[in-house]
Amino acid sequence: MKKKNFRGYTKPICVMMSLVLCYTAAYYAVNSIEMTVPTSLTYPDEELYIVLDAGHGGMDGGCSTSDGVPEKGINLNIAKEVKELLELQGYNVVLTRETDTSIHDKGVEGIRSQKESDMENRLDIFNEHNNAICISIHQNNFTDPYYSGAQMFYSENNPESETLARIMQENFVKNIQPDNSREIKLCGKELYLCYFSENPTVMVECGFLSNPDEAEKLKNPMYQKEVAFTIFSGINEFIEKRG
Ligand SMILES: [Zn+2]
């Protein structure tokens, strides 16, 4: 993988602030009839947080490779790597989970209720900060083992999510998957976190565990680092372009 220089990302805060304020003013101008205002644009002066969600955990392994490796561990490895890179840059980073666990409320019984509680708690973490960028990390699965490649999902809940998804998809193509021609995709309510998050949010499906070649790569810690660097690059590019 061609390493990129990711150091030196600083901009005078006043320039950044005025650009965000201009953007906010322009947004109000063109959306004066709309009642909802994306929270991330409403509080440009608040500190930025990057929230990383390693999909699944605990009793919920997510999808698996043909030899039984669940995505939950792959997701967590990648999320932790992204966190490390972002923290080196000085970002505030929050993980929805740091171990192999479900984050449902204590005392909730039954797998279905625990899953619901887990998802609600993850959504609370996504929406906890007014100025946040949220990334949910998953692996894909399909009945036909032919399909491979990363794909980004976003919702219309925050207008910046589409831009984030597009930049992230481009970074996967640039960095590790030059043959990937997948389109970013609008999600529905079935992707609960992605759909209801109020901040710019993308669900990153890093690749298909149902594809034997891609599954081998995704199990490999070195490739997981490359995926992590790609997600990190996407976040950085989004922040830079946002101004
Ligand atoms: Zn998943």
Cα of 24 from ligand 1 centre, angstroms: 34
Cα of 71 from ligand 1 centre, angstroms: 7
CA distance 96 to 131: 16
- Give residue 124's Cα distance to chain centre: 15
Contact 85, 99 (CB under 8 A): no
Q: What is the pLDDT of residues 169-198, one digit of tens each?
A: 999 999 999 999 999 999 999 999 999 999
> Percent of the chain at pLDDT above 70?
81
- Residue-range domains of the chain with CATH: 13-242 (3.40.630.40)
What pTM did the predictor assign? 0.82
Q: What is the pLDDT of residues 8-66, one digit of tens each?
A: 333 444 444 444 444 444 444 444 444 444 444 445 678 999 999 999 999 999 999 99
Can you count the helices (H) and strands (E) in the chain? Answer: 8, 6
Q: What is the pLDDT of residues 87-136, one digit of tens each?
A: 999 999 999 999 999 999 999 999 999 999 999 999 999 999 999 999 99
Instruction: Give the per-residue pLDDT at 43.
Output: 59
Helix (H) or strand (E) holding 126: helix 111-127
Cα of 62 from ligand 1 centre, angstroms: 5
Predicted confidence band of residue 243 (pLDDT cuts 50, 70, 90): confident
Cα of 85 from ligand 1 centre, angstroms: 23
Residue identified by tokens 């995926």 is 227
